[in-house]
Amino acid sequence: MRVLFFAQVREATRVAEGELDVADVDASALWNALLQRWPTLAAHRENTRLARNGSYAARDEIFRAGDEVALLPPVSGG
């Protein structure tokens, strides 16, 4: 799956996006894979929301191989 990073989360990983080789995982398993690949995300896990294919992920969302996943730190638009 393609993973997108924004704002403080992008500054933590130092990349805007990356590929992650996981499929059919829940948010908890996805976070484990994310932290293994980008350990600096650990500080952001608590307040970062996940989006799947352009919408906020539900609590029980399952993330698939071809998804676009985005890590969204607290927003500050307007």
Partner 1 sequence: MKIRVEITKEPLMAREAGRADGGIGAVVEFAGIVRRDEDGASISALHYEAYEAMAKTEMERIVGELAARFSCQAVEVVHRIGRVPVGEASITVRIEAKHRAEAFSLLTEFMNRLKQDVPIWKKVGE
Q: Provide the total of helices (H) and of strands (E) in the chain, helices listed first.
A: 2, 5
Segment lying near partner 1 (by CB under 8 A), choices 21-29, 36-44, 57-65, 69-77: 69-77
Total residues binding partner 1 (CB under 8 A): 15
Contact map string, positions 19 to 58, toward partner 1, x by CB under 8 A: --------------------------------x--xxx--
Rule CB under 8 A: is residue 7 a binding residue for partner 1?
yes
- Paired with 52 in beta bridges are 55, 69
Lookup result for tokens 């970062």: 48
For 14: left if phi > 0, alpha if psi spans -120 to 50, otherwise beta; the answer is left
The binding site for partner 1 (CB under 8 A) comprises 4, 6-8, 51, 54-56, 70, 72-73, 75-78
